[in-house]
């Protein structure tokens, strides 16, 4: 026969048994629904040992109970731990974890993706350009591009400039801006739903890629009036060496006629296999074999030399485009109107 547990005065189980008995039958039934079998067994054992309970002890239990749930006393495991256990017993472990886990970050500008870009532009036109830059840097590239085309080139250029120079934006500031814009959209009847670091320059580049080339060039020209160095840096990132892999075979062949094979062998040393294949595929079997041999014979290359060679080839491609001899792919399949 096992040893029977004796619950001394002041023990947690004894106090719980006293409290449940004092609360009455109706409340006790609700409590029991939320307890496990072992807990109920322990409470039953403690209740059977309450022959010597006094009115003073009952009052002390109620006082402790009151203090616990009024904030006057925090259990050893912490109030959060106690609350978690209570929710878990009431709703189940899985549901409790789902409800009490740390909340995920909510994008304050998510609703902008479900609103007509013209309406977004109308609301943002009332805001300071810095605020607009924050919003444009936070939504999808294609959304930003569609919104920007409803501004004048001068204002769009200023927004692109500010976006490219954004630093870390406080989460509270982002939420405040998002909430304000949401309220304005709701007020104008256009709301139809179906501390964070921002890489503003990268976002600006992607947005410009989504625009038609003519409009993107116009924006960069506007930017050059304020900061020509920055405008040229931005322009250089609009089309990079990896983008050449999207050229159709005929355009690639036209480009290769202008590129020295030694320059190409250096540039392709740093390219992935798919990009190399795009170049090789536009060559004759003999030419591609010779190029592969040159690349293998040249041995390791400095990254700086590879990047310089790639930049030179991109410059050649852009000059061919400027001369109207080829068309380079930018952004989506056809760009945005």
Indicate whether 127 and 231 sit together in one domain. Answer: yes
Indicate whether 19 and 78 sit together in one domain. Answer: yes
Indicate whether 128 and 168 sit together in one domain. Answer: yes
Q: Is residue 167 part of a domain?
A: yes
Indicate whether 84 and 121 sit together in one domain. Answer: no
Q: Is residue 274 part of a domain?
A: yes
Split into its structural domains, the chain has a count of 3
Residue 7: the pLDDT is 67
Instruction: Give the domain-ending residue among 81, 100, 119.
Output: 100
Indicate whether 231 and 114 sit together in one domain. Answer: yes
Q: Spell out the SS3 assignment of 41-72.
A: HHHHHHHCCHHHCCHHHHHHHHHHHHHHCCCC
Q: Is residue 145 part of a domain?
A: yes
C-beta of residue 128 within 8 angstroms of C-beta of residue 195 = no
Indicate whether 70 and 136 sit together in one domain. Answer: no
Residue matched to tokens 């400095």: 302
Residue 332: the pLDDT is 46
Instruction: Give the domain-ending residue among 46, 75, 100.
Output: 100
Residue 90: the pLDDT is 58
Instruction: Give the domain-ending residue among 235, 264, 281.
Output: 235
Rg (CA), the chain: 34
Indicate whether 122 and 94 sit together in one domain. Answer: no
Residue 79: the pLDDT is 41
Q: Which residues constitute the domain of residue 267?
A: 240-322
Indicate whether 230 and 254 sit together in one domain. Answer: no
CATH number at residue 274: 1.10.220.30
d(CA 128, CA 134): 10
Indicate whether 302 and 315 sit together in one domain. Answer: yes
Q: Is residue 82 part of a domain?
A: yes
Q: Is residue 279 part of a domain?
A: yes
C-beta of residue 91 within 8 angstroms of C-beta of residue 99 = yes
Indicate whether 229 and 296 sit together in one domain. Answer: no
Q: Is residue 68 part of a domain?
A: yes
Q: Is residue 5 part of a domain?
A: no
Indicate whether 38 and 121 sit together in one domain. Answer: no
Indicate whether 57 and 84 sit together in one domain. Answer: yes
Q: Is residue 122 part of a domain?
A: yes
Residue 189: the pLDDT is 58
d(CA 263, CA 310): 8
pLDDT in tens, the chain (337 residues): 344 566 677 778 888 888 877 777 777 777 777 777 777 777 777 777 777 777 788 788 778 777 666 554 444 444 445 545 655 665 566 665 665 554 444 677 877 777 788 888 888 887 888 888 888 888 888 888 888 888 888 888 888 888 888 877 777 788 888 888 887 777 665 544 434 455 666 777 777 767 776 777 788 788 888 787 877 777 767 777 888 888 888 999 999 999 998 999 999 987 888 888 999 999 999 998 999 888 888 878 788 888 888 889 988 988 888 888 988 776 544 443 3
């Amino acid at each position: 026969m096992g040893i029977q547990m004796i619950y001394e005065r002041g023990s947690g189980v004894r106090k719980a048994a006293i409290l449940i008995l004092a609360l009455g039958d109706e409340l006790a039934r609700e409590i029991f629904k939320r307890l496990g079998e072992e807990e109920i067994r322990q409470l039953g054992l403690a209740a059977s040992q309450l022959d010597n309970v006094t009115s003073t002890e009952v009052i002390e239990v109620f006082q402790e109970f009151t203090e616990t749930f009024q904030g006057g006393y925090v259990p050893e495991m912490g109030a959060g731990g106690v609350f978690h256990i209570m929710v878990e017993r009431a709703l189940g472990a899985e549901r409790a974890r789902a409800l009490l886990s740390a909340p995920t970050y909510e994008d304050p500008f998510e609703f902008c993706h479900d609103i007509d870009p013209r309406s977004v532009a109308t609301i943002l036109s009332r805001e300071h350009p810095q605020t607009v830059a924050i919003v444009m840097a936070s939504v999808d590239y294609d959304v930003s591009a569609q919104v920007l085309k409803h501004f004048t080139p001068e204002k769009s250029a200023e927004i692109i400039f500010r976006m490219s120079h954004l630093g870390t934006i406080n989460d509270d500031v982002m939420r405040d801006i998002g909430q304000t814009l949401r309220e304005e959209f709701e007020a104008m009847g256009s709301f139809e739903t179906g501390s964070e670091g921002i890489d503003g320059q990268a976002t600006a580049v992607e947005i410009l890629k989504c625009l038609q080339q003519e409009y993107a060039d116009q924006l960069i020209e506007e930017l050059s009036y304020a900061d020509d160095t920055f405008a040229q840096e931005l322009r250089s990132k609009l089309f990079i060496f990896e983008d050449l892999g999207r050229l159709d075979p005929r355009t690639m062949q036209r480009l290769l006629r202008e590129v020295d094979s030694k320059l190409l062998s250096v540039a392709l040393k740093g390219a992935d296999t798919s990009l190399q294949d795009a170049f090789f595929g536009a060559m004759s079997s003999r030419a591609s074999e010779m190029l592969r041999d040159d690349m293998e014979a040249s041995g390791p290359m400095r990254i700086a030399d590879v990047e310089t060679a790639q930049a030179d080839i991109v410059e050649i491609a852009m000059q061919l485009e400027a001369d109207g001899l080829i068309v380079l792919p930018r952004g989506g399949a056809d760009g945005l109107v």
